Amino acid sequence: MSFNDYDVLAEDYARHNERNAYNAYYERPATLALAGDVRGLRVLDAGCGSGAHAEALSSGGASVTGIDSSAGILALARERLGAQALLLHADLAEPLPLPDNGFDLVIAPLVLHYLRDWEPTLREFHRVLEPGGRLVFSTHHPTMDFAESSGEDYFATYASTEDWPAGDRMVTMRFWHRPLTAMTEALRVSGFAIERLTEPAPVPECRELFPEEYRTISTKPRFLFFATRAVRSGD
């Protein structure tokens, strides 16, 4: 069975991502807020999707490179961004086709929970960052994964699946649950120091536009947001 076929999902996912409660009024504003002032920064958008984060970062004055493993999603990002960003096909589970110390900031919005092992990817992020560069990312909240999956051990790392509609088809998505301790340990051994760990509320507009989703997001943990800094041995 194949999982996470974003080539099939591309147009439906991009359309939904653009304006729904969870992405447009919760994840994206929170990630961009943690990224902060990006004027003059070289930014890698890892798992760039159809380009919403990259567009905001470019508008904020950053030089943006986006990578994604889905050719279909990247085609939509190229239509959206034109020359605003350099877009590359790359798999986060593999070594990245990017130079050492080439970025000041890496963002990874809602992508790490697709990976069984975080450490190889985090080490690649560390490699491509300047010393002292920042990694900002969002991921599934582990209590959400645990509550909504069939897992019996919160402290285990295990896969769970759900089916997403794509036109007249269903695509099986696979996510990897890991406890918070495993997340923080993977960051530590990969050379990242946590500066902030947040569980933000959605932006206020969400309450009026999506009252049911707003209640859910505001009362049940959905995503975790990390702001970290690349450190070297001895720092």
Which residue segments constitute the domains of the chain, with CATH numbers given?
A: 6-229 (3.40.50.150)
Residue 6 is predicted with a pLDDT of: 81
Considering Cα of 70, then 73, then 79, then 84, what sign does the dihedral take? negative
Q: Exposed/middle/buried for 208, CB within 10 Å: 0-12, 13-18, 19+?
A: exposed
Residue 48 is predicted with a pLDDT of: 97
Nearest to 186 by CA among 234, 131, 133, 116: 116
Tokens of 95: 């070594």
pTM: 0.95
Per DSSP bridges, beta strands 192-198 and 103-109 are unpaired
Residue 3 is predicted with a pLDDT of: 83
Residue 220 is predicted with a pLDDT of: 92
What is d(CA 72, CA 11) in angstroms, rounded to the nearest whole number?
8
What is d(CA 32, CA 38) in angstroms, rounded to the nearest whole number?
9
Tokens of 163: 């089916």
Q: Are 35 and 57 a contacting pair, CB within 8 Å?
A: yes
Tokens of 105: 């900031």
Tokens of 80: 């959206």
The pLDDT tens digits along the chain (235 residues) read 568 788 887 888 888 889 999 999 999 999 999 999 999 999 999 999 999 999 999 999 999 999 999 999 999 999 999 999 999 999 999 999 999 999 999 999 999 999 999 999 999 999 999 999 999 999 999 998 888 887 789 999 999 998 888 777 888 989 999 999 999 999 999 999 999 999 999 999 999 999 999 999 999 989 999 999 999 875 6
Give me the residues paired with residue 109 across strands.
138
Phi, psi dihedrals of residue 103, rounded to the nearest 5°: -135, 150
Give me the residues paired with residue 44 across strands.
65, 106
3-state SS class at 144: helix
Residue 152 is predicted with a pLDDT of: 84
Residue 1 is predicted with a pLDDT of: 56
Q: Are 179 and 207 a contacting pair, CB within 8 Å?
A: no
Residue 109 is predicted with a pLDDT of: 98
